[in-house]
Amino acid sequence: MKPRKFGLSSSVDAAPGRSPRQAIPFLLPALVVLAALVLYPLVFSLIRSFFDASGDEFVGLRNYVDTFTDQRTLTAFRNNVIWVVVAPAAVTGIGLVLAVLTERIKWATAFRLVLFMPMAISLFASGIIFRLVYEEEPDQGVVNAALVGVHDLFSPSSAYPKARPRDGYTPTDAGYVATAPSRAGDTIMVPLVGFPPQDVPAQALPASQPTSGNGELRGLVWLDVSVGGKAGKVDPIERGLPGIQLEAVRDGKVVARTTTGDDGRFTFPDLASDEVVVRLPESNFALPFRGLTWLGPSLITPVIISSWIWIMTGFAITFIAAGLSAIPRDALEAARVDGATEWQVFRRVTIPLLSPVLLVVFVTLVINVLKIFELVFVIAPGSVQSEANVLALQMWQVSFGTGGDQGAGSALAVILFLLVAPAMLFNIRRFRRERS
Amino acid sequence: MRKQFIALLAFAAVAGSAACSGGAAGIGAEDLKGQTVEIVGPWTGDEQKNFEKVLAAFTSKTGAEVKYTPAGDELPTVLQTRISGGTPPGVALIAQPGLVAQFARANALKPVNADVEKAVTKHNAAVWKQLGSVDGKLYGFTFKTANKSAFWYSEKAFKQVGATPPATWDDLIKTSKAIAETGLAAVSVGGADGWTLTDWFENVYLRTAGPENYDKLAKHEIPWTDPSVRKALEELAKLWGDPTLVGGGALQTEFPKSVINVFGDPSTAAMVFEADFVASVITTNTKAKVGQDAKFFPFPSVAGSKEAVVAGGDMAVQFKDDKATTELMKFLASPESGEIWAGLGGFLSPNKDIKESAYPDDVTQDLAKRIVDAGDNVRFDMSDLAPAAFGGTKGAGEWKDLQDFLADPKNVDGIMQRLEANAAKAYGK
């Protein structure tokens, strides 16, 4: 037997594991799977992006030109830039702070577990949760409920929100101002509408026309709403509105103030004989504070980013905490012995030692952010979806939305790939360097 | 052996006569035994169960098995993929006439057989046949339709001001103003969904501009900058432009929410406009009873317009023309199939030979009757006729432009120009 004559075994002996020929059979299954699932779709998408919607006609770069001239794609680009600039940095920062803070507390693991929990929920479900959290109606959206609660603690809402005089008054910033002047001895009737009769305070009494008084300006404020009631007339079942403030204005200055009684009547007792203008201050009718329109066009992207931060912070904490535990303790101790404050230890020792981990976390998050899709899709209501648009969502809408142009969709996919590629290359490089 | 031979003979005879004389002979219970038809439709959940009962009736009648595949909202994608893959289903129910035309021109569809055509002509107003025709050939018919011209109102809110269902647009505005005086918003608009807004516009446009202009605008033969469009938008602005009439936060309100705003507790508005399927939202989400607390009136006439209905619907088309498939199409075109589902509820048909009593309650009967009575004044939902890039994409085209219009109803000119620019782009492709 001369084993050295067999080429195969000779190479095994010479340099174990280095023969490409020998490697091929072992790599083949993985290569086939990779080629079928990754390489083929990649190349196919690239080719497809040069064809039109039906896939029959070669259109060159037209899909790319269309993409870069489409207003919606440009908005998506802009939003992606905002995402990349804000979100990964915020998550890495918050993750770092929380990881360092939780490092030395007793229940660190439990605490981190709780923070990691959002990662266990699918993005889609998280999106639905945040859709409800930011709902505009304070009865449903918890954010607005909190805002309204705090706001009403300091400035209670008005007694008759949305109510307004039927006619004869012009709305101004200060309130409703009578179009005609009046003077002592007159009686003025102020019919209000736009308020539900069932919400009138219980102590309100039926309205009736006041008699005119000498030297006094009298009047009635009542809710002029009833079935079959005549507009501007006091009908039997209509009630006066108690607690409405009125002002008498002369030459731009308030000369007298009064408030209506339970029957809705009011009196300005001592007005001089000159004419005054009656005004109903805005504070009577101010709309109750309803919180902010979180899901409107201006706030939608920050809102979605905030929910993404909620989800991903746990991820960042886990990685950074792992990196933190790998830091040599003596470096920290040495710094402390030398008299460094905790802040200095954090700034000058912890962060520099952690920077490789932070970088990996950051880059991974950048990749994650570039392909963000579900959150935008779920949280943004249809009316602001174009304002909240991001590239991945745009790609999906163009290719599979009811439009169905997979050529243009492929072009977007290729662009997205090109954007993600540098971050991926960076990560691969790092892993390789770490190994060597 | 002998028995089998006779069966075979009978089958051959029936098949032969069906082929030659156009199916004068009926199909017996066991004639299509062993054959299977696949049918793809949009319905899931309860609607799926009801439709499967319709299909079960076909199976017991002919012996052919029917396999229903629910595709939901992704139906166009599912069909497109299966056609490219060479395995189309036998029958599909498609909600977008534009897609039907596209498939027909790509020769993916088979024109219906003469019997089916006869049934369609017999049971439907001419406008429906036209809808199913592409280049002069009939490819399908509307099996299930939606009456998109209904205002649903809360009886309680109307009572509070003593209002009655308005018959004209001006009356509607008047009633709305009276309701707004009670502190309730008059209408709840589901503006977060663009399609509700296109339905608003289509109903007003069909009434102010008439069916002929409607057809032209649907084909983009007249531009969106046409004076008729301005007129419709201005009418719409009479209602949308008054902040006391439209419920707050309309652009963040999705369609189901817009219904709950009216019939839920507490209610914040008195009316909501949309199709017949509002009834099912009311039943599943609120305590209000349809027919008692929740009633509807047809979309009011604008400037003396005739009764007209904007309808949506699912069109049955066939991708194969084997015998069982054709029989199934024939069955779906007959009043018999529609009556089964009508009895189960949540179904309207343009088929005028479905007995009124087949529908389960007064409200449904009324909704169905209005579609049949409007005859040739029925128009299919314009946004479904338009290319999807214009009439059917979230946050783009007509949907987005009308949402912007709802946000700023004074900007009629700006919106018309944007609509035209988007339409030109979408129709040009």
Number of helices followed by number of strands (H, E) in chain B: 19, 12
Q: B251 CA to chain A: closest CA distance, Å? A: 6
Number of helices followed by number of strands (H, E) in chain A: 16, 9
**In-domain check, residue A384:** yes
B304: left (phi over 0), alpha (psi -120 to 50) or beta: left
Cβ separation B395–A137 shorter than 8 A: no
**Residues A347-388: tens digit of each pLDDT:** 888 899 999 899 989 999 999 999 899 999 999 988 888 889
Q: Residue B393 in 3-state DSSP?
A: coil
A326 with A387, same domain: the answer is: yes
Rounded mean pLDDT of A147-158?
A: 84
Q: Which amino acid belongs to residue A110?
A: A
Count of pairs with CB atoms under 8 A, one residue in A, one in B: 97
**In-domain check, residue A250:** yes
Q: Which two tokens stand for residue A175?
A: 């309130």
The answer to whether A291 touches A141, Cβ cutoff 8 Å, is yes
**In-domain check, residue A29:** no
Q: A386 CA to chain B: closest CA distance, Å? A: 5
Angle made by CA atoms A15, A21, A25, in degrees to the nearest 5: 115
* Interface probe with B: pick from A383, A390, A398, A399, most Cβ of B within 10 Å: A383
Pick the last residue of a domain from A219, A254, A284.
A284
Cβ separation A404–B80 shorter than 8 A: yes
- The Cα-based distances of B160 to A5, A104, B150 in angstroms read 104, 65, 21
Q: Which residue stretches of A35-137 are H helix?
A: 40-48, 62-69, 71-103, 108-116, 123-133
Domain B150-307+386-428 has CATH 3.40.190.10: yes
Q: Which residues of B touch A194 (CB under 8 A)?
A: 180-183, 244
Q: Please name the residue that has the structure tokens 């109803």.
A: B409
Q: Is A229's Cβ below 8 Å from some Cβ in B?
A: no
Residues in chain B: 429
The answer to whether B143 touches B315, Cβ cutoff 8 Å, is yes
The answer to whether A22 touches A8, Cβ cutoff 8 Å, is yes
* Interface probe with A: pick from B182, B196, B390, B422, most Cβ of A within 10 Å: B182
The answer to whether B299 touches B273, Cβ cutoff 8 Å, is yes
How far apart are the C-alpha atoms of B1 and A9, rounded to whole Å? 70
A127 with A178, same domain: the answer is: no
Pick the last residue of a domain from A260, A284, A308.
A284
A227 with A313, same domain: the answer is: no
Q: Which residue stretches of B241-356 are H helix?
A: 255-263, 278-285, 323-333, 335-344
Cβ separation A196–B193 shorter than 8 A: no
Largest CA distance in chain A: 137
> What is the residue-level pLDDT of chain B in tens, covering all 429 positions?
444 444 444 444 444 444 443 333 455 555 788 899 999 999 998 899 999 999 999 999 999 999 999 988 778 888 888 887 889 999 999 998 888 988 898 899 999 999 999 999 999 999 999 999 999 999 999 999 999 999 999 999 999 888 899 999 999 999 999 999 888 999 999 998 889 999 999 999 999 999 999 999 999 999 999 999 999 999 999 999 998 899 888 888 889 999 999 999 888 999 999 999 999 899 989 999 999 999 999 999 998 888 899 999 999 999 999 999 999 999 999 999 999 999 998 899 999 999 989 999 899 999 999 999 988 889 999 998 888 778 877 778 899 999 999 999 999 999 999 999 999 988 885
How far apart are the C-alpha atoms of B270 and B262, rounded to whole Å? 5
A23: left (phi over 0), alpha (psi -120 to 50) or beta: alpha
The answer to whether B267 touches B242, Cβ cutoff 8 Å, is no
Q: What is the per-residue pLDDT for A270?
A: 78
Q: Is A163's Cβ below 8 Å from some Cβ in B?
A: yes
**Residues A281-303: tens digit of each pLDDT:** 988 888 778 888 898 888 999 99
Q: Is A171's Cβ below 8 Å from some Cβ in B?
A: no
Q: What is the per-residue pLDDT for A403?
A: 59
Pick the last residue of a domain from A284, A319, A345.
A284
How far apart are the C-alpha atoms of B273 and B265, rounded to whole Å? 19
**In-domain check, residue A155:** no
**What CATH architecture is B36-147+311-379?**
3-Layer(aba) Sandwich (3.40)
* Interface probe with B: pick from A162, A402, A406, most Cβ of B within 10 Å: A402
Q: Residue A203 in 3-state DSSP?
A: coil
Report, in angstroms and rounded to the nearest whole number, the Rg of chain A calculated over CA atoms. Answer: 36
Interface subset of B 163-192, CB within 8 angstroms of A = 180-184, 191-192
Q: Is B399's Cβ below 8 Å from some Cβ in A?
A: yes
Of B149, B157, B148, the closest CA to residue B288 belongs to: B157
A181 with A278, same domain: the answer is: yes
Q: Which residues of B touch A386 (CB under 8 A)?
A: 395-396, 400
Q: B403 CA to chain A: closest CA distance, Å? A: 6
Q: Is A194's Cβ below 8 Å from some Cβ in B?
A: yes
Q: Residue B192 in 3-state DSSP?
A: coil
The answer to whether A347 touches A367, Cβ cutoff 8 Å, is no
- With a CB cutoff of 8 Å and minimum separation 6, the contacts of B294 are B152, B153, B154, B155, B262, B263, B279, B282, B288
**Residue of B183, B191, B252 lying closest to A194 (CB–CB):** B183
Cβ separation A401–B394 shorter than 8 A: yes
A308 with A255, same domain: the answer is: no
Cβ separation B395–A389 shorter than 8 A: yes
Domain harbouring A299, CATH code: 1.10.3720.10
A357 with A233, same domain: the answer is: no
Range of the domain at A184: 164-284
**In-domain check, residue A196:** yes
How far apart are the C-alpha atoms of B11 and B32, rounded to whole Å? 8
Q: A278 CA to chain B: closest CA distance, Å? A: 22
Exposure on the CB side of residue A319, measured as CA atoms within 13 A: 21
The answer to whether A401 touches A415, Cβ cutoff 8 Å, is no
More confident residue, A7 or A391: A391
Sign, Cα dihedral of A79, A80, A84, A88: positive
Would you list the domain boundaries of chain B?
36-147+311-379, 150-307+386-428
Torsion on CA atoms B190, B196, B198, B202, rounded to nearest 10: -120
Cβ separation B80–A382 shorter than 8 A: no
- With a CB cutoff of 8 Å and minimum separation 6, the contacts of A90 are A305, A309
> Are both B36-147+311-379 and B150-307+386-428 of the same fold?
yes
Of A398, A401, A393, the closest CA to residue A372 belongs to: A393
Sign, Cα dihedral of A41, A44, A49, A53: negative
- The Cα-based distances of A20 to A8, A23, A27 in angstroms read 11, 5, 10
Q: Please name the residue that has the structure tokens 């595949």.
A: B69
Q: Which two tokens stand for residue A12?
A: 């095994």
- With a CB cutoff of 8 Å and minimum separation 6, the contacts of A307 are A126, A127, A129, A130, A133, A375, A379
Neighbours of A3 (CB within 10 A): 8
Q: What is the per-residue pLDDT for A10?
A: 46
How far apart are the C-alpha atoms of B144 and B349, rounded to whole Å? 5
A100 with A193, same domain: the answer is: no
The answer to whether B332 touches B143, Cβ cutoff 8 Å, is yes
Q: Is A418's Cβ below 8 Å from some Cβ in B?
A: no
Q: Which residues of B touch A403 (CB under 8 A)?
A: 387-389, 392-393
Q: Which amino acid belongs to residue B358?
A: A
How far apart are the C-alpha atoms of B290 and B346, rounded to whole Å? 12
Angle made by CA atoms A328, A333, A336, in degrees to the nearest 5: 140
Interface subset of B 189-208, CB within 8 angstroms of A = 191-194
pLDDT reading at A268 higher than 90: no
A279 with A299, same domain: the answer is: no
Q: Is A296's Cβ below 8 Å from some Cβ in B?
A: yes
Q: Please name the residue that has the structure tokens 């977007």.
A: A412
Environment class of residue B372 by beta-carbon count within 10 Å: exposed (0-12), middle (13-18) or buried (19+)? buried
A225 with A264, same domain: the answer is: yes
Q: Which amino acid belongs to residue B316?
A: A
* DSSP for residue A129: H
Cβ separation B181–A295 shorter than 8 A: no
How far apart are the C-alpha atoms of A425 and A58, rounded to whole Å? 31
A276 with A174, same domain: the answer is: yes
A255 with A280, same domain: the answer is: yes
**Total domain count for chain A?**
2
Provide the b/e sequence for B114-135 (b: ≥16 CB within 10 Å): ebbbebbeebbbebbbebbbbe
pLDDT reading at A328 higher than 50: yes
Environment class of residue A273 by beta-carbon count within 10 Å: exposed (0-12), middle (13-18) or buried (19+)? exposed
* Interface probe with A: pick from B181, B197, B381, most Cβ of A within 10 Å: B181
Mean pLDDT of chain A: 87
The answer to whether B319 touches B40, Cβ cutoff 8 Å, is no
Sign, Cα dihedral of B378, B383, B388, B394: negative
Q: Residue B65 in 3-state DSSP?
A: strand
Residue of B nearest to A296 (CA): B252
* DSSP for residue A39: I
Domain harbouring A180, CATH code: 2.60.40
Q: Residue A280 in 3-state DSSP?
A: strand
Q: Is A225's Cβ below 8 Å from some Cβ in B?
A: yes
Sign, Cα dihedral of B23, B29, B32, B37: positive
Q: What is the ipTM of this complex?
A: 0.71
**H or E stretch at A379:** helix A374-379
A112 with A245, same domain: the answer is: no
Angle of helix B323-333 relative to helix B114-123, nearest 10 degrees, comes to 10
How far apart are the C-alpha atoms of A358 and B416, rounded to whole Å? 51
How far apart are the C-alpha atoms of B416 and B227, rounded to whole Å? 10
